[in-house]
Each structure stands twice: as C-alpha cells, then as structure tokens.
Structure 1
Amino acid sequence: MDSDRVSLRTGGVLLVVLVELVVAATVGWGLWTLRRETLAGELQALASLSAAMAVQADSTLGVADAILGATRAELGDGLLDPTSAGAHDFLRARADALPMFRSMLIVDAEGRRLTSSREEIRNGPSVAHLDFFITAREGRGPSLHVGTPFVGHLDGRASIGVSMDWRDRQGQFQGVVVLVADAGFLDGHFEQIAPQPDVAMALYRNSDRALVSDGPGDGAARLLPAQVLGPLWADATPETPRLVTLPDGRQRLVALHRLQRFPLTVVVSRDAEVALADWTEQAWLVGSFALSALAMTLFLSLRNAREQALRRQAQAALATEQACAVRAFQAAQEGHWEWDAHTQENHLSPRMKELLGMAPDEILHGPDGLLHLARLHPDDVEPVRAVLQAHQQGQGSEVFDFTFRIRQDDGQWRHVRSRGHAWRDPDGAARFFSGTGTDITAEIAVQQQNLQLEAQLQRARKMEALGTLAGGVAHDFNNILAAVIGYGELARSAAPDDSSQARHLDHVLQAGQRGKALVERILSFSRGAPRARTLLRLEPVVDEVLQLLAASLPASVRLAQRLNAPEAIISGDVTMVYEAAMNLCTNALQAMPQGGALQVALDEIRLEVPRQLFDRSLPAGRYARLSVTDSGAGIAPDVMARLFEPFFTTRGPHVGTGLGLAVVHGVMVDLGGAIDVHSTPGQGACFELYFPCVDGVPDEARPVDDTAPPGCGQTVLLVDDEPGLVELAEELLAGLGYEPVGFASSVQALAEFQRDPDRFDLVLTDEVMPEMTGTALAQAVHAVRPDLPVVLASGYGGPQLAARAAGAGVTVLLRKPLVRAELARAMAQALGACALRLQPPGR
C-alpha cells in the first residue's frame, strides 16, 4: 500500500515535474517567439523610418542639385559672370528661395570666393582645404558633392557644403558652386517622427563612409563603429534591417536606406537592450512563475492569462510601431499602398487617398483600380497601364517608378510619383505589391520655372550679341555714309542750283539721308546711338501716334483707345518713345491684313513685388503700361522666340525690314523698361510696354535754332582713324571758317598737342579708334588743358557712351555721319560753352 502510495506520489511528482517541464518549455518558446516578434516589429519600424528620412533627404538634395546645375550651366555657358556687380544679387535671389540653405557662393579654381549671396562672407578665407571643394575639383563621384561638417569662419556654427564643379566649355576646371547649410539640414523632422528618444540617425557618404550628419542633438556617442559599418556596406542586401553586435558586446538594431539619386546612406539604429526592455521585464516575471514548482498549479491559470496579456501587449506594441511608421510616411508627405494578388484587395493609406483625390471611405477594386479613377489625366491612363502590366509580368527593373497627374478640386493638376515593388513566388508570379506615392507638383513647377529662366537668359544673351553685331555693322556703314553725305554736300554747294548736276547730287544726298535714318533704326535696337534724356509726359506722345494712325487707318480696322495715365512722367528721348509706340502699332496693323480691331490702352500701375515678363524680370516700382492688342492670326510658338531679332520677319521679302520690333526692344532696354507678350494662335496678340515712371516736372519744349555762326579761324585738332574721313572733315571745317589740323592716329595727335598745347582752340575726335579711343584722348588732353573744349563724334559708341563722354569732360556729343549744318552747330555750341565757363587761353 505504502509502495503504491510512494509510487503514486512519485508518479505525481514526476507528473508535476513533467508538467512543469512542459509548461517551462512552452513558456520559453512563447517568450522566444515574443522576443522575435518584438525585434521584427522594431526592425520594420526602423526600416520605414530610414526610408522616410532617405526620401526626405533625396528631395532636399534634389532641389540643391537643380539650383546648382542651373548655376553651373550658366557659368559654363558664360551666361553668368561671377565677378559682375549683379552676381551677388543673382545668388541672393536664388538663396532666398531655398530656406534650408544659409548661403550660396561661387569660388574659383584656387578656392577663393568670387561672389556670395551673403555680403559678409564674400571675402572669407579660401575653401580649397575643404572636402566638398577637393572632391568637386578632382571630379570624383557624381556631379553633386555633399561635404562633411566644418566650422563657419564667421559664426563658428557647424556647416555642410553641397557643391558642384564649374568647368568651361573645354572641360577645364574653373571653380566650384556651393550651397552652405547647417550641419543638421538633412535631419529633417527626425526628432518628431522618431518612435523613441533613444533612436539614433546618421548620414554617411557611400564612397568613403564619411559622416555627413550624426542626427539631431549630440548623437556622436550613438554612432556605429567602423568595424560594424564595413560589413553593412559590403553586404549584397544592405537595406535589410538587422541585429548587429558591437565590439563591446552590446547589440543594436540597425536599418539603413540608400538615397535613390545621391550617393548617401541613412542609418537608423536603436539599442537592442532598450528596445527589449519591456520583453526582458516580462520574461523575468514569467520565468519566476514557471520555475516556482510549488506555485505551478496555483499560478497555471495566471500564467496562461499572463501569456495572453503579453500577446495582446505585443500586438498593441506592433500596432503602435505601425502607427509610428504611418506618421513617418506622413512627415515625409508620402502615401502608402498595397495590393494582394490572392484576395484582389487594395489598401491605401489616408495620405495616398488624399493624393489620389479619393474620399476617406472610397475603395479601389482590383489591380487596375487606379486606371478607373475619374480624376486621372486621360493622357496618363495607357502609360500607367503599360508600366503596371510590364512590372506584373516581370519585365524591366526590380522597382517600378512612374508619374501621373490627378485633377484637384480647383481644376489644377497634381503630379504624383509612385514607386513600388512586387513580391513574387518561386515561379516568378507576382503575389503582393507595395509602394509609395509622393506629391512632386512643386518639384515639377521648379523644373519648369528653371527651364523658363534658362530660355529667358538665352534670349537675353542672344539679343545682346545681335545688338553688338548690329552696332558694329552700323559703325562701318556710318563711315561709308560720312563720305557720301560729306562730299555730296561739298559737291552740291559747288554746283549751280538749276543744273542737272545739282539735281543728281540732291538725289545722292536724299539717298544718304535715307541710309542715315536706317542706321539710326539699327542703332536704336543696339542701344548704340547717343541720346539726350529729358523728362516727358508719356500720354501726349502716345496720343500723337494714335492721331497720326487714325488719319491713315483702312476702313476695315477699328481703333479703340483708352488712355488713363495723364500724370505718368518718364525719363528718355521723345523720339525714341514715339518710334517705339509707332512701330508697335504698325506691327499690330500688319498682323491684320483683312482688317480687325486694334486696341490701345495706357495706364499707370504699381508692382509691389517683382514680376516675370517675356524678356526679363521687372523690379517692384511704379510703371506706365502701354498695351497694344490686335485681332490677327496670333504668333506661332516657333516665331515667339525670335520676335525681337533684327531683320527677322514672317511677311516675306520686299514687305518689311524686320527692324520694327527690334527697335521697340532696343528702346525699352535703353529706357530701363521691359516687354511682355501674350498670344494664342488664331486669337490675336497683345504687346505690353512697361515704362519706369519718375518724379519730377517735364522739361519744356524749346525752339531749336538751326543757324550757327561760322568760325573765326580757330585752330581745330581733328582726329579720325579713317584717312578719307579726316580729309573730308578738314574740307568741311575749312568751309565753316576754321583751321583744321588733321591726324589719322590718335597717338600722333596727342603727341602734336603735347608739343604745343596752346596752339589749339578745340578738339574734334572720333570715339572708336584702334590706338586710343576718343574719350581716352579727351582725358589725356584735359590733363594738360582742362579748359579745352572737346567735340566727340561717334557712329556707335555702345550703351555707355554718354557716361564715358561725361566722365572724360566731353563738351558736345555729335552723331556720325557728319552733316555740315550739325557740325557747325556743334562747333559753335562747344566754343560758346567753353567761353561762358572759362576765360580763353593765351596764345
């Protein structure tokens, strides 16, 4: 009986021990499974967080890449001169549009700063020792280079340089274009979206694993050592989250994600012990209960309940981690979508539905549900279908990437970029799809704006080059006309009035005057003609143009005018303004050969912010706006880019010279204004001229005295590099009562003057000469005799001729070709002005 009782007791103990072992094994397995699930959830959360931070960094660097690329192209093509006065304002305007960057600068090949968006750092120390400069100079890696942190020389702040090399058209290194930001500008909102405070982030360069950023705050203590990073970089699947062991024995959860467009890698990590703190605590509790044999049966039900509670807690923790991942996607402004090929179900995050313009409770059905959205752009349906089908069939790359347009409530189109991946079974059939969606509307807008700015700069450079060419042609033509008109006048004065010779010479002079008028039109385009500026009211000039047009309008054209700027005052030459308005109206009439409506409006506006127009950006200020609208056939897109080129016309040969709009462009540039053009083919065109308004009283019109007293034997130092023009001018001056002493070399003329300065009463010189320009000669003469009057004659001196002449002390500015009457008035005016200002020198 006792043995049976002992056996029974032993069996009972063994049964209890067996039950305890089974329970202990069960508890151990459960704890291990819970630990594995907890680690998997943490790793997935870190992977989502690293992907979100990589997308955000990609976007930020994409903006920098676009801005630096555009600036480098402008430098390489010569469109931007970094040493010019406007380079600083140009960089400051671009840097102001990038709030994440502190400054933008251009350095030369030696690391010296050429210009900067911030005036106070323009003359800072050389940057040749910094790695963003060295990498860009040596041409290693991609075109965009992200440097490691350095200390700013002014404020001592940790900074990072994002650079791009600048080379000339022959590929020679010229320098570097740099955007400078705070060291943590790629950290984004990591502190807000990180699930726990102990989660660390770091950003490395792929090429040398150099640390670019250690995350918000002082994250240096949480960086992974090099012996751990090395195997991660060498791994074939580095973006798989994992548990790694540090040299000191501690374990860390690590997830890294490489940027799509730039050679950087985001590394997010967390201490495994901290991540498993809750699990460790529960494991000790459950283990103590499991190993307590005396309380096994008592706490068996409690253990089971505890396990259930732990399971629910793990599920809740997983749900929390998933919510953190969702917040990470939301912080990155990305949507997430999934499609299960087995169930045909689609899951879209709230942000993804928002991007697609869907209601929160709306559902997509099947793999092609996106194609049936009413908001999808019709032109994008087939391309999206082709991309999805190709990826589903295993064609193309592992990752699919496509962009489509979604109509918004206001009728505008949102550009959505979707990237994803298909998970396949061993047979290669796609079973599950997952991807993200990003709103890249702003990025597309920036790209389009950059293209518009580039096209505008190209047009401006082209017009400037054409203007220089036209001015040079006009200069040479002026020299020819000078001989024709000058000798023609001399021959005409010697011919009897009623003779056939006189009639022939009159025709020659008339043709010469027409040629002179044509040259003046060319110079109006090239801004090479010297013009005197006055203050004038714009409305009377426009009204005079319209009165002249109204008298000659065909019956098929209706003229409607609305002039509402009686107080608009501008600074300029009235003839130039008249010519610009007349050419613009004439161009509108020629656009309506069958008749139509011509509308002319003048008003005064104030721009509070700069406005982008057809040919340039107009600064803020007060302007008079002249609008000329026709109802013609409109302007084709290929013609729009060449509108203001000289000699370009769409009206065929023998119809026009193609100078009308070119003259308008030259006049507006000379006045400091701008032109805007609006046209739709088949619906007419509208040209708008913006004249800068000034404050002041208009100059009164004064009668011009065409008579000029002859000379009294004054000695004139005559200088022109064309010997024929020197001979002609000597004859004209002698006929006017002066004693000319001519030279075809400005250097020889200066030497003769220096031998006997008091011999001469006046200097008459050309401007454009090979050895010494006329303004340089005037300065040299005035260094010896400040009282000597100087008359400067020029057929083309460039846009700054008047300023140079005034700085050199020129008394009168005369336009070539020389006409006898104009020359006589200029000589008398110069001698008279000098007589009023100074006592005549002793002889």
Structure 2
Amino acid sequence: MKPTEFSKIKIGSTYRRPLVMVGACVIVICVCVSAAWDSWRARNLALQGNNRELSSISSALAEQAARSLQEIQLILRRTSVTANVPQQIQIPDKAIEDFLKREVADVPQIRELSIFDAAGNRIASSEPPGQPDIDIAPREYFRQIQHSAPGATVISQPLKSLADSKPTFAVAIGMWDSAGHFQGAVRALVEDDYFERFYREVDLGRGTQIQLSLDDGVPVVAFSRELDPGDTADLQSAQRIVTGFPLRVTVSRDRRVVLADWHDSFITALVRTSSISLLVAVLALALARQMRRQQTLAERLHSSEQRWRAVFENAPIGVVVLRTAGQFIASNPAFQHMVGYSGIELAKLNAIEISHEEDARGIQGQIARLIGGDIVTARFEQRFVHRDGTMIWTDISIARVSSSEYRLEQSSGHEDVLVATLEDVTQRRLSEIERSRLEAQLMQAQKLEALGTFAGGIAHDFNNILGAILGYGERALHALDARTPAHRYIEQVMNAGNRARSLVERILTFSRSGMVARLPVRLSPVVAETIDLLEARVPAGIGIVLRMKAGDIVVMGDPTHIHQVVMNLCSNALHAMPHGGTLTVALERVHLAETASLTSGLIGPGDFARLCVADTGVGMDAALIERIFNPFFTTRGAGEGTGLGLSLVDSIAREYGGAVSVISAPGNGSRFEVFLPVSSEVAPDVVHEPAALPQGDGQVVLVVDDERALVSLAEELLAELGYEPVGFQSSSAAWEAFASDPERFDAVISDQTMPELSGLELAARVRQIRPTIPVILCSGYGTPELEKKAIEAGVRMLLRKPLQQIDIARALHQIFAG
C-alpha cells in the first residue's frame, strides 16, 4: 500500500470512526494474512531453490567424478593388458616401470600406479626406484579383487598409503590368465587432495558440505565449509550416483543457513503486524527489506550461475546446448577444442554442418525421437569434421530440456532445448580399427596354414605318380624316332607332366613344405635373368623398365623361390595391362629404423632388399586387395590361372622373414613391394654342370621304394648310368638283404614315406652297421623338420621327387667323387 493511500484513509477516519476501525482491522488482518503467506512461500522457495541448486551441483560433480575415475579405469585396464606379469618375478622390468610412469604422467588424480602379484607383493610401480617393499594382501580391497569377476573395478575405503602414510584411496582391477586364474592386480592410489581441491574451487558458500562416499555410506573424500562434519541433524542434501562405480556424491547445506533470510523476513512480518500504528514506516521498512532481499536473492542466483559456469567451462568433456533445429546456443571450451571452432563461430553454425555426411541422417533421427517424446535421453557415436578436415569420433549423450526448466533469452515463445555431453573417442576407434586389421591378418595366416597343410599332404602320392609318368615318358621319348607321331605324343605327355611337376612345386612352396635349405643368393643376377626370360613373351605395346640399384645384395634363400616371386609379380602386371603400358622392376637396398606395418604383416627394423614391380594397368580397389593373397583366388578366366601366384609370393616372403606391400587404386595401376631381409653371407660363384651325364663304375646301389614302378624305373636308369642296382619294394626286405651282406652295397637310395620302415629308420639301421656308407633320401613331401632329422641321421643328400635321370646321376657322382 502506498503512503498517499494510507493518508487518505487516515483523514477519512475523522468522519467515519467505525469505518476506520473496521478498515484498520481489515488492514491488520490483511497484513497478518499477507505476512503469513509471504513467510510460508518464502520458506518454500528458499528450500526449493536450494534443493535445485544442490541437485544440479551434485549431478555435475558426479559426472566429474565418473570421468576422472573412468580415465583411471582405462589406465588400469590398459596396464593390465600391456604388462606381462609372471607368477614369480625377482627384478622389476624397467620397460614396465617406464610404461607406468608414462601412464600417470599427465593424470593428476593418480598419485601412484603399481602392479602386484597374486600374493599382494608390489613388483612394479610408477614411483622412483628404491621404494620400500609393499604387501597389500591384508588390505580389504585386495581380497575383494581376488573374489571379483575378471574386469571388475574395486574401490577401497579411505586408507593411509603404506609408503608415506598419506590419506588416499585405491582403485584397482585384477589380472587373470586365459584359464581364469588370478595373476595379480593393478592398483592406482588416488590423490585425496585432487577431489578436495576441486570441491574447494566450486565454492558453495558457508554451511555446505561435499562428500564422495561408497555405496555403503563410508566417506571416501569429504569437504565442508563452516560446518561441523559431525553435525548432520538439520541438513538438506542432494545425492547422485557416480555412473559405473560404487560411489555417490552428496552435497549438503545447513537448513539454518538456507533459511537465515526467511527467519529475518518472518521477524519483520511480526514487527510489521505488531506495529500497526507505524504502518507507513513498517511498510517502508518492509519494502526496503523486500528490495534488499530480492537483491540478495539475485546475487545468490548470480553466484549460483557462476558456479555452474565454472563447472561448464572446466568440464573435461564437451558440453553443448542446442536448439531443436540443431543451432548451437552454447558450447564449452572442451568441445570448441575438440572441433577446432570458437564459440562465436559455432553460434553461427548448425550441428549438422560440422557432422560427418554419413552420420547426419542418424543424428537427425535421434533428435526427432527426442523432440517427439519417444525417448528421454539418447546415447550414440557421432563423427564430426574438425576444422582442419580430420575426422573426430565422439560418444554423445543427449537429452531434451523443456522450456519450463530452460528459457531462451531471445525467444518470446516456449521452445525446448537439447543438452549434450560429448567425449572424444577417436583414439579408441583407431585402436579398434587397427586391432580388427591385425585380427584379419591373423585369420589370413591361419587360413593359409590350413590350406598349406592340406596341399602338402597330397604331394607325396602325387609326386610318386609323376615320377613314374616322367621317368618312363623320358625313356619312351629317347627310344622313339623323333619323326614318328608317337614321339610327338610322348612329348605332349612330358610337357603335361612337367607342368604338373611345376604346379606341385608351387603348392609345396606355398605350403612351406618344400626343401628349405637356405643358401646365400645374389638377388641382382636372379632378377635380371628372370626379366630376360620374361621379355620373350611380353605382348606388344608393353615396355619394361629395369632399375637395379641394390649392388651385390645377398639374401638367404633359394634362387628358384626368387625366380618364382619375380615371375609371378611380372605375370600379374602384364595381365593387368591388356591395352599396353609400362612394367617397372626395381631392386634396391633400404633400411627400416622401426617396425613397419605392410599389407601382409609387420617387418623391421633392419636392412632389407626391396623388390618393386609396378604397372600402369587397371589397378585394384580396397576390397580386391584384401583378397589377392587368398589361395586359389584369381581374377582371370577359367583355365587362365590357378590363383596361387600371389599366394606363393606372400608365402615365400613370410618364409624368408619379410612381407609384401600393395599400393593400388582403380585406373592408377598397381605397385607391389617385396621386402626380404639382407644377409651378410657371401654367395658362392655359379658352377656350370657338364652337358654329359656323369657315369658310374659298377658300384652297387641299394634302391628302396614302396612303388613298384619307381623301383623298376630307378633300376633301369642306374643300369644305364653304369651302376649295378638292387631294388626292393619292401623296406624290411631291403634291410634284411643289407644286414646279411653289408659290404656288398656301395650306396643306398631310399624313399622316406614307406609302410614298414621309413627312409630315416632304414638309414639309421644301415649306418649302425656301416657308418660310412652314403645314403640318399628321396621325398615328395619335404619339410624343414625332415631336413633336420636327415642331417642328424647322417643322410648324405636329400632329393625331391619326382626324380629324373640327371638328378640321380649328379647325386651319385657327387657322393662317389667325394
């Protein structure tokens, strides 16, 4: 009521005293009722406003605690996977300690990161060397880890560090082997002051308390301002669960502090109603007090806004406020740094404009569901395009806030808004992609190994069949007149048999089951010779460029393998240029300073020979590149290729300890680079064999093979070479013949795979009687293990089936010539 109105009522009372009394009574009653109503309403508003403030602050603090602990949890899990902690360890691994120090270097909330064995003894720590031994076996949280599920995170009650007795609490996870046995634990000691400093900077005012406690109510971190920690009789509190952890954040404030202003207003109302004679003065005083109270409330509202702004600005994750159409209303520095735009620039943009084009439709659908009320909150992964063009993966949690809770300053109507939190998960996504790529390489290697085992398994029988075909075919060819049709027919049989022999050799090489005696090989002459052979069948319109910059570089291997690698790569390149082009073959020496990830695997560091075969043909897309090393995969038509060429190249490169890199794009040609480790060995000079077959001098040779046709063939070939062959189809019968007269025989030629006695077993028995007799072992399915066993058994020479007369002649000549 204004003073002028009160004056009019006072003047009128002279004439109408009863009316004045009634009016005065009415005024007194109205004032009393009004005062009581204002007092009750002010009390409720104070409590409600305080409750909203405490709820908002507890939510923000719970989110902050969750993010901090999630970062610790990520470090613990990464450490448990990286650190290979054995059951017993005496000296800590320096690499593990350096790893632990790097993990905690930029994480202020971690005081110490340690690894403990299954008995609770510390075996590695991020602390400097020389720390006393620590045993956490008596700790309650260590027992909880032992009985928890693998991967579970355990948070301890408040404790004092065993190293320096400072207050702290522990966050730990267990380490388990593949059989589910407990191997130890990774523990992080959290800086107690980290959370307390953060709570102090929030500055909630006097009479407040912030407490981070376990689910059972045990406080882990507590901070209070002008409040006795034991005084909890009249506190107004708000509590939020820390997502993903057995923790709660409780923010409390003394009701006496909250209602202090209300008490003042209540007393004022009493004074106002009791001082009706001084109504004007009381009303003026009440008005002044009311204005001061509004100012105080405004200041407190501003202070509350500043506290919320501090949380908003300093949050470690991105926080944005959006209109329902996607325009940015507000964004914190974390999000601005994430996408590379300032707050002013974002205010002029729409979220869709900086989203990845493939994800734009998805985020529009999520926003539509939020606006339509189908869901309250949504969480999904979203890609943004950074200002510099790079792609940023984010984990988004977004919710709709109604207009009754958030009013836009520049909006006259009621408009809901969207509030989103965003975490940058780009590194995690890149790690997942890299892991998927490595898993694909592992599956490819397993598939090649399985196919190789199958391919090698049939080689023995197939080579025996080829041995008879080629051997008797060769004899028939020599026995026929070259002018007869039969001679031409036999030539075609020999050509087909030789192609089959070449195919078996490629299968054996692919399966890594061939003879793998490693010898120093000069690469340059082998590559040059292969290109000379290739030039004779290069189609018209294709030019060959040869660049040999490797000098006299040597690798440990087989010249035939190197020839197959070059020939297969060049054949594929010619096939990829049906309309002509340029084939470039280059050989050079390179040094890799660190491990490199190539298309077919990891290599390095070290010195390597890099063989590059590039074409200007049709090129390949990424999907085709993933399949080119698969066995029997080919892009050629039926009958034009076996699909083993690139599989063979990959197999040889892996066998030599190297790898293959493929760079190609549709329409831009292909570039294959084969990396082979360089050897310091010296390659021997090439020795040219004489044109005529070396002859024997009547030496008696024991021939053993379970194939009757091969025994007969070997006897005929040896007889023509001047030897006296004695053949057996049974290895047991051959052993009995040798045991009855050991001095009769000058050499033994035996198959390896036989039903009674294997070739190695027969050689061992023979050498027990005559240690000096030379033994030649033949096999259609040779392996490195067989080669090793043959050397240990004293076998003089290991030959691969199918054999030709020149192979037997040279082998016997080398043995008898010493």
TM norm. shorter chain > 0.5: yes
- Asked if 1:644 is matched to 2:629, the reply is yes
Structure-2 residue corresponding to 1:417: 395
Q: Which of 386, 390, 402 pairs up with 1:408?
A: 386
Matched residue type, 1:406: F
Q: Distance in 2 between matches of 1:191 and 1:805?
A: 73
Structure-1 residue corresponding to 2:247: 267
- Asked if 1:613 is matched to 2:598, the reply is yes
Task: Report the CA distance shift for 1:671/1:31 in structure 2 as closer, same or farther (over 3 A).
Answer: same
Matched residue type, 1:181: V
Give the match's secondary structure for 1:791.
strand
Q: Which of 327, 350, 354 pairs up with 1:369?
A: 350
Q: Does the 8 Å CA contact 2:380/2:395 hold for their aligned counterparts?
A: yes
Deviation at 1:467, TM superposition (A): 2.2
Write the deviation string for residues 361-387 of structure 1: whole angstroms up to 9, x where unpaired: 23537xx9323x3x3333433332232
Q: Distance in 1 between matches of 2:466 and 2:567?
A: 26
Larger mean CA deviation between 653-662 and 703-712 belongs to 703-712
Structure-2 residue corresponding to 1:378: 357
Matched residue type, 1:45: I
Q: Which of 319, 327, 346 pairs up with 1:335?
A: 319
- Asked if 1:796 is matched to 2:781, the reply is yes
- Asked if 1:742 is matched to 2:728, the reply is yes
Matched residue type, 1:539: S
**Structure number with bigger Rg:** 2
Q: Does the 8 Å CA contact 1:597/1:630 hold for their aligned counterparts?
A: yes
Structure-2 residue corresponding to 1:51: 63
Aligned length: 710
Task: Report the CA distance shift for 1:184/1:794 in structure 2 as closer, same or farther (over 3 A).
Answer: farther
- Asked if 1:564 is matched to 2:544, the reply is no
Q: Distance in 2 between matches of 1:631 and 1:188?
A: 65
Q: Which of 429, 442, 448 pairs up with 1:463?
A: 448
- Asked if 1:485 is matched to 2:470, the reply is yes
Q: Which of 375, 385, 388 pairs up with 2:367?
A: 388
Write the deviation string for residues 707-730 of structure 1: whole angstroms up to 9, x where unpaired: 4452654463x5545455455545
Q: Distance in 2 between matches of 1:430 and 1:104?
A: 53
Give the match's secondary structure for 1:598.
strand
TM norm structure 2: 0.70
Deviation at 1:478, TM superposition (A): 0.5
Give the match's secondary structure for 1:479.
helix
- Asked if 1:359 is matched to 2:371, the reply is no
Q: Does the 8 Å CA contact 2:612/2:671 hold for their aligned counterparts?
A: yes
Q: Distance in 2 between matches of 1:790 and 1:185?
A: 72
The 5 A counterparts of 1:98-497 are: 146=153, 160-161=172-173, 181-183=186-188, 193=198, 195=200, 201=212, 255-257=239-241, 259=243, 264-270=244-250, 272=252, 279=257, 314-315=300-301, 318-319=304-305, 321-323=307-309, 325-326=311-312, 329=315, 331=316, 333-339=317-323, 346-362=329-345, 364=347, 369-371=350-352, 373=353, 375-395=354-374, 397-424=375-402, 431-489=416-474
Q: Distance in 2 between matches of 1:707 and 1:158?
A: 82
Q: Distance in 2 between matches of 1:191 and 1:751?
A: 91
Q: Distance in 2 between matches of 1:148 and 1:787?
A: 74
Q: Does the 8 Å CA contact 1:252/1:269 hold for their aligned counterparts?
A: no
Matched residue type, 2:186: A
Task: Report the CA distance shift for 1:196/1:359 in structure 2 as closer, same or farther (over 3 A).
Answer: closer
Deviation at 1:450, TM superposition (A): 2.3
Deviation at 1:48, TM superposition (A): 1.6
Q: Distance in 1 between matches of 2:533 and 2:444?
A: 33
The 5 A counterparts of 1:371-770 are: 371=352, 373=353, 375-395=354-374, 397-424=375-402, 431-489=416-474, 508-550=493-535, 552-704=537-689, 707-710=693-696, 712-714=698-700, 716=702, 719-722=704-707, 724-726=709-711, 728-729=713-714, 732=717, 737-738=723-724, 740=726, 742=728, 744=730, 762-768=747-753
Write the deviation string for residues 487-525 of structure 1: whole angstroms up to 9, x where unpaired: 445666777898887776565445433332232222222
Q: Distance in 1 between matches of 2:481 and 2:617?
A: 53
Deviation at 1:25, TM superposition (A): 12
Q: Distance in 1 between matches of 2:103 and 2:742?
A: 63
Q: Which of 803, 811, 816 pairs up with 1:818?
A: 803
Deviation at 1:674, TM superposition (A): 0.9
Give the match's secondary structure for 1:678.
strand
Write the deviation string for residues 298-332 of structure 1: whole angstroms up to 9, x where unpaired: xx999999978975774575356425533662x2x
Q: Distance in 2 between matches of 1:324 and 1:777?
A: 87
TM norm structure 1: 0.68
Q: Does the 8 Å CA contact 2:77/2:173 hold for their aligned counterparts?
A: no
**What is the root-mean-square deviation of aligned Cα atoms in Å?**
5.8
Give the match's secondary structure for 1:697.
coil
Matched residue type, 2:350: G
Write the deviation string for residues 622-679 of structure 1: whole angstroms up to 9, x where unpaired: 2121222212112244433331334432221233333332332232222221111122
Q: Does the 8 Å CA contact 1:34/1:314 hold for their aligned counterparts?
A: no
Q: Does the 8 Å CA contact 1:765/1:793 hold for their aligned counterparts?
A: yes
Task: Report the CA distance shift for 1:785/1:180 in structure 2 as closer, same or farther (over 3 A).
Answer: farther
Q: Distance in 2 between matches of 1:665 and 1:194?
A: 60
Give the match's secondary structure for 2:304.
helix
How high is the sequence identity, in percent, across the aligned residues?
30
Q: Does the 8 Å CA contact 1:337/1:348 hold for their aligned counterparts?
A: yes
Matched residue type, 1:269: V
Q: Does the 8 Å CA contact 1:104/1:177 hold for their aligned counterparts?
A: no
Give the match's secondary structure for 1:635.
coil
Question: 5+ residue gaps in structure 1?
Answer: 1-18, 72-81, 83-90, 108-124, 138-143, 167-173, 224-244, 834-843
Give the match's secondary structure for 2:643.
coil
Give the match's secondary structure for 2:428.
helix
Give the match's secondary structure for 1:370.
coil
Deviation at 1:96, TM superposition (A): 10
Question: 5+ residue gaps in structure 2?
Answer: 1-30, 87-94, 105-111, 119-136, 158-162, 164-168, 203-208, 224-228, 276-280, 406-413
Q: Distance in 1 between matches of 2:775 and 2:114?
A: 49
Q: Does the 8 Å CA contact 1:629/1:684 hold for their aligned counterparts?
A: yes
Deviation at 1:47, TM superposition (A): 1.8
Q: Does the 8 Å CA contact 1:50/1:266 hold for their aligned counterparts?
A: no
Q: Distance in 1 between matches of 2:548 and 2:331?
A: 58
Larger mean CA deviation between 314-323 and 752-761 belongs to 752-761
Q: Distance in 1 between matches of 2:62 and 2:439?
A: 36
Matched residue type, 1:51: E
Q: Distance in 1 between matches of 2:340 and 2:750?
A: 74
Deviation at 1:393, TM superposition (A): 0.9
Q: Does the 8 Å CA contact 1:51/1:257 hold for their aligned counterparts?
A: no
Q: Distance in 1 between matches of 2:101 and 2:496?
A: 56
Q: Distance in 1 between matches of 2:689 and 2:436?
A: 51
Give the match's secondary structure for 2:527.
helix
Larger mean CA deviation between 189-198 and 397-406 belongs to 189-198
